Structure 1
Amino acid sequence: MLDLANVVPWGRSLKEYQAMFELSNDDLNKKILGCGDGPASFNAEATEVGCQVISCDPVYQFKVDEVRHRIGEVYPEIMAKMQQAADSYVWDSFNSVEHLGEVRMEAMSRFLSDFDAGYQQGRYVSASLPMLRFSDSKFDLALCSHFLFLYSDHLDRAAHLASMRELCRVASEVRVFPVVSLDGKTSKHLDSVMAGLSADGIAVSLQPVSYRFQKGATEMLVAKSA
């Protein structure tokens, strides 16, 4: 079982998802899986405008008050680390570390307000890669942000490939952002994972995105199995 004390919650908005994954209006009309969404407001905001979105993350096994407490607990620590690493980021969308913090807290507050109702409706599902509790081809589009490739030193090639294969099993198209690791360099697993997926008959490509924050993170991996 996941230990909440090891979770560092950090939430992003629908607007950021649109930029990270180049989501068009047509994309937003598809059945979407957000994998590893954590306390993002993406699901709440997208649902509000009529989108069909299911988010999965192991953090959803916890009660909303537990997640709220954990957010408050780690927020000062995250902000301090962001201040120290400010030179690793592009400060165009956000004016400052403080502004970033405000935007993140707004997104997480939106998530917290939506979580109980969304969980009951089946929009938030406790699940984690590389084994998802969804049927084959349940989704048109799966999105995975700031997990695969970013943590290349924590997850090996086999874990990356198994996770990508699982995402391709449940969705006809998969988009992953970023494809750089924490140091801003292209993940050491990217080429071999793309080769493995290609060998499975899955069409893979790197596509530019408009989102700019972590330096070096300018592309997403797109995998199409249909």
Structure 2
Amino acid sequence: MAFELKNTVPWGRSLTEYKSMFNLTGPDLNKKIISFGDGPASFNYEMTQQNKTVTSLDPIYQFSKDELNRQIVSARDTVMKQMIENQNNFVWTSIKDLEELEHIRMRAMSDFIADFELGKNQHRYVHHELPETTSFKAQVFDLGLSSHFLILYSKLGIEFHIKSMAEMLRICKEIRIFPLLNLNAKKSEVLDGILEEFGNGYSCSIESVSYEFQKGGNKMLRIQNK
């Protein structure tokens, strides 16, 4: 089935948030990084501004700048309405309120839109949909990231997750995934199966992070090739 932009809800996060979500240190930021399901985040743009190396993958990158911008604008009211209805499921500390949340997200997505055409020409934004095999050689990236996609969308099923993460680990020396909850802010149904699958042959650990917006969502999964 063809990927349709109208079915997506683009919602971008910033470099500051990525640092907190993934415990990214100074040395980490100097690594060759690939980020899966990056969507309209400003992570790639902000890293590029600091002369860092990031490749972002997402199926939405097949669309034009104008198409993406229209979908971002269209999705904003829907997302903010859901946030109002579910605001008790979130921790309002680093982000103080709904107004600040909307400002942070729209700023991140605005920076992404401004950077998108240049980044696509520079092959920093690559159209790809997991769990399909990428075109990259084995172990070519130091670090692979997945924010608010894998594990969170548990309804995609355990096989989808295992295939996706196996491909990530094929091209990355290490991967980090955040958060470990499902969309209902409960422990993801696929987490135990993932740990069982990759527990042999890889080094797996669950680590606390400084980022917590979804209540209880302050842990990431780190898997390293041995």
SS in structure 2 opposite 1:220? Answer: strand
Q: Give the unaligned 5+ runs of structure 1.
A: none
Q: 1:114 and 2:115 equivalent?
A: yes
SS in structure 2 opposite 1:125? Answer: strand
How far is 1:133 from its partner?
2.6
Residues in 1 aligned to 2:196 and 2:203: alpha-carbon distance in whole angstroms: 10
The residue aligned with 2:204 is: 204
1:30-63 CA distance string (max 9 Å, x none) = 0000111000000000011011100000000000
Matches within 5 A, 1:21-36: 21-36=22-37
Number of matched pairs: 224
Matches within 5 A, 1:19-168: 19-131=20-132, 132-152=134-154, 154-168=155-169
Residues in 2 aligned to 1:162 and 1:6: alpha-carbon distance in whole angstroms: 23
1:157-190 CA distance string (max 9 Å, x none) = 1111111111111100000000110111111111
SS in structure 2 opposite 1:148? Answer: coil
SS in structure 2 opposite 1:11? Answer: coil
1:133-160 CA distance string (max 9 Å, x none) = 32211100000010111111x2111111
Matches within 5 A, 1:1-12: 1-12=2-13
Backbone CA RMSD of aligned residues: 0.8
How far is 1:128 from its partner?
1.5
Q: Which amino acid aligns with 1:63?
A: S
Q: Which amino acid aligns with 2:3?
A: L
1:93-128 CA distance string (max 9 Å, x none) = 111111100100000000000000000001000001
Q: Which amino acid aligns with 1:139?
A: F
Residues in 2 aligned to 1:138 and 1:115: alpha-carbon distance in whole angstroms: 23
Matches within 5 A, 1:160-199: 160-199=161-200
The residue aligned with 1:219 is: 219
**TM-score by structure 1 length?**
0.97
Q: Which runs of 4+ in 1 moved over 6 A?
A: none
Residues in 2 aligned to 1:75 and 1:133: alpha-carbon distance in whole angstroms: 33
SS in structure 2 opposite 1:94? Answer: coil
SS in structure 1 opposite 2:136? Answer: coil
Q: Which amino acid aligns with 1:157?
A: I
Asked if structure 2 preserves the Cα contact closer than 8 Å seen for 1:14 and 1:41, the reply is: yes
SS in structure 2 opposite 1:116? Answer: helix
Q: Which amino acid aligns with 1:143?
A: L
How far is 1:10 from its partner?
0.2
